[in-house]
A and B are shown apart, each in its own frame.
Chain A
Amino acid sequence: MTLHPMGIELLQLILLPLLAPAFVGWVKIVKCRMQGRTSPGLLQPYRDIRRLFIKDVVLADNASWIFRVTPYLAFGVILMTAGIIPLISVDLPLAATADIIALVMLFAIVRFFTALAGMDIGTAFGGMGSSREMMISSLAEPAMLMAIFTVSLASSSTSLTQMVSVMANGHFMIRPSLAFSLIAFILIALAETGRIPVDNPATHLELTMIHEAMILEYSGRYLALIEWAGMMKLMVFFSLGIAAFLPWGIAGSGDPLSLLLRGLFFVAKLAVGGVVMVLIETGLAKMRIFRLPEYLGSAFLLATLGMIAFFILE
């Protein structure tokens, strides 16, 4: 018995929102252990989201429809990407909706609207967060494209499913270009998902907030959706990295047992990825905002070196 591709598609769409809070919970657990604290457990993010959903919404007087639409849009867009990125199968009918460049632009929609929502209320914090977020993203984008380009060189494709199939089926090669672009990708992913050293997801200290400053005025279910979308975004970025750089064990047949095994393998890869991120976050301190051009500049440099290494050496 095999599962219809559309079924796998649906499975992915359900899996992502359900797993994302657990992934964030896992990251928190590891982080707490690493820093000698007791952790709130794997399920705490679920409880947070539930609590927020139950609460009533308090909306500022001059909030416009943009402020109210943004949470739904953020959640919806990120959920859509779950149908496009191959998590447990490459046989996805909707994967052709967007290649990796279009995927990055889908994230840009979320950022665009979140930044607008930050400015909608008319507080100084919101504007500050939006301004900084857009600055960071504009520096991260060229590096992101370069990393994508370097990865796409190996499979001569920017379509994710194609990249996965080519890389996983081709014979193994030591590719410095991929190693470089992987490091670049990690640096960029930390910036795009608002993690240390670029932004601190746990801070509410006025001058260091970036993402939190934009969503300061949200409450109730709006906040729940935004937080949930943020968790999903983190997991989507990890999945993107896995699909682009460690694609082994994604492609396969559609029978349930094999799907389950691949799903478990995927979760294991995610868990290891989470530990790596915690190591980075624990080892580094948050940067001053005007050091970020250098940080993202090095990401760009690495990605470019990857591209150059591909042409010169491989």
Chain B
Amino acid sequence: MSTELVIQLNTLLAAMILLTSFALLVQRRMFAILHIFAWQGFFLGLSTAVIGFATGEHHLYISSLLTLVMKVILLPYILYTLIHKLKIHREIESVMNTPATMLAGIGLVIFSYHLTAPVRQLSTLMTRSTLAVALATVMLGLLMMVTRRHAVSQIIGFLAMENGLFFAATSATYGMPMVVELGVALDLLIAAFIFGIFFFHINTTFDSLDVEQMAKLKEGD
């Protein structure tokens, strides 16, 4: 496989990751969000493997595998069962003003392109152009957490942010050291369990996973 083809493939995968980030931002249905998240993980894993192949850094294969297992299978499965158990799979979220959110998202992508411009000039890695996408994915995840009202979609926003960070690591430095990556993966898994427990508590207390309800906790004046 020639280097040029690898770069093009990686570009395509980066574009797909960006697309899935936007899809997460505007999708209303719970299960669809979950599916998109799984796809994002899939593209991320594939991209890691492609970079690993091209650079000969074989530890990237392991991270790729880890990503695939964690983010395509395990985390979506956990969230899936959670959604089932809490009987919220029919819920459709009222997303605030979709076109405005989209425009804000586009603005963030352009902003992150602007931010990463100096790095792009310094770096010699073949993945340097995808750094902007990685940063944009982080920001879009954060934007998703800000605009969503439902706890589950906020968690997915958080996980998408983590995807972005991981992608940033591979495109900026061909991945973090193995130990760090393993640690992060474990953290994520634990986070998912803790979120699950929180969801149950929030759901039993407020009879809903709408985080707006938590405003009730504020002391009345």
Say if the beta carbon of A314 comes within 8 Å of chain B. Answer: yes
Within 8 A of B (CB), among A130-181: 173-174, 176-177, 179-180
Interface SS of chain A: helix, strand, loop or mixed?
helix
Q: Give chain B residues whose Cβ lies under 8 Å from the Cβ of A180.
A: 15, 19
Within 8 A of A (CB), among B103-162: 105-106, 109-110, 113, 129-130, 132-133
6 pairs, CB–CB < 8 Å, chain A vs chain B: A174-B11, A294-B26, A294-B99, A300-B102, A308-B113, A313-B130
Q: Give chain B residues whose Cβ lies under 8 Å from the Cβ of A176.
A: 11-12, 14-16
Say if the beta carbon of B8 comes within 8 Å of chain A. Answer: yes
Nearest residue, chain B, Cβ from A296: B99
Q: Give chain A residues whose Cβ lies under 8 Å from the Cβ of B26.
A: 294, 298, 301
Size of interface on B: residues with Cβ below 8 Å to A? 23
- Whether A309 contacts B18 in the complex (CB less than 8 A), given A174-B8, A176-B12, comes out as yes
Q: Give chain A residues whose Cβ lies under 8 Å from the Cβ of B167.
A: none
Q: Give chain A residues whose Cβ lies under 8 Å from the Cβ of B113.
A: 308, 311-312
Cross-chain contact of B109 among A177, A297, A298, A308 (Cβ < 8 A): A308
A298 lies within 8 A of B19 (CB):
no
Say if the beta carbon of A103 comes within 8 Å of chain B. Answer: no
Within 8 A of B (CB), among A21-67: none
B129 lies within 8 A of A312 (CB):
yes
Given A176-B15, A301-B106, A309-B11, 15 additional A-B pairs, CB 8 A: A173-B8, A174-B8, A293-B99, A294-B99, A297-B98, A297-B102, A298-B26, A304-B106, A305-B19, A305-B106, A308-B18, A312-B132, A313-B15, A313-B129, A314-B11
Q: Give chain B residues whose Cβ lies under 8 Å from the Cβ of A313.
A: 11, 14-15, 129-130, 133
Nearest residue, chain A, Cβ from B10: A313
B22 lies within 8 A of A309 (CB):
no
B12 lies within 8 A of A174 (CB):
yes
Within 8 A of B (CB), among A284-308: 293-294, 297-298, 300-302, 304-305, 308
Distance in angstroms between the alpha carbons of A309 and B133 in the assembled complex: 9
